[in-house]
């Protein structure tokens, strides 16, 4: 497999894995502490919206200024260390048995941004597609 295909496979697995885990955790919490699907829909919206903000600030170009406003909007989830689940993702096919260097992967900021869109999409699907509405 070429490097670009491995890169996009890792990107799709990362976004899918994180989205599935967030939906499952929020579904369990909404069943235990809330009203089921309606609580899940709102929780997905809130978490998706928060991740959208983090991802949006992360994908912006690095500010050149050193003022307090520039530092405020210069947040990112990038880092040198791999998260535990990222190491597990590299054991799944089609990445199993291959080496994809960290610098060749899609940025975590982009992954967080796309994950937020997936979560917001699931929230909309619950409302529009399945008719989960309040009242």
Cα separation of 125 and 135, whole Å? 18
Band (39; pLDDT cuts 50, 70, 90): very high
Residue range 48-54: mean pLDDT, rounded: 94
Please give the pLDDT value at position 131: 82
Predicted TM-score of the model (pTM): 0.84
Give the closest residue to 47 by CA, choosing from 118, 109, 107, 110. Answer: 118
- High-pLDDT (> 70) share of the chain, %: 83
Whether residue 114 is predicted with pLDDT greater than 60 in this model: the reply is yes
pLDDT above 90 covers what percent of the chain?
41
DSSP for 68-108 reads HHHHHT------SSPPHHHHHHTTSTTTTT----GGGSPPH
Answer whether 95's CB lies under 8 Å from 9's CB: yes
Could you read off the pLDDT of 79-105 as tens digits, one per residue?
A: 666 677 877 887 778 877 787 777 888
Handedness of CA 13, 118, 112, 18 (dihedral sign): negative
> Do residues 34 and 40 touch, judged by C-beta distance below 8 A?
yes
| Mean pLDDT value of segment 4-32 | 93
What pLDDT is stored for residue 72 in this prediction?
A: 59
């Amino acid at each position: 497999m070429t490097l670009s295909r491995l890169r996009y496979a890792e990107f799709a697995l990362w976004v899918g894995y994180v989205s599935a885990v967030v939906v499952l955790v929020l579904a369990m919490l909404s069943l235990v502490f809330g009203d089921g699907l309606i609580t899940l829909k709102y929780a997905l919206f809130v978490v998706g919206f928060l991740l959208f903000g983090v991802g949006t600030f992360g994908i912006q170009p690095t500010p050149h200024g050193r003022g307090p406003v520039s530092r405020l909007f210069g947040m990112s989830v990038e880092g040198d260390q791999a998260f535990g689940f990222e190491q597990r993702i590299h054991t799944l096919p089609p990445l199993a048995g291959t080496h994809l260097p960290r610098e060749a992967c899609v940025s975590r900021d982009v992954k967080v941004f796309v994950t937020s869109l997936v979560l917001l999409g699931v929230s909309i699907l619950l409302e529009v597609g399945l008719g989960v509405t309040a009242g």
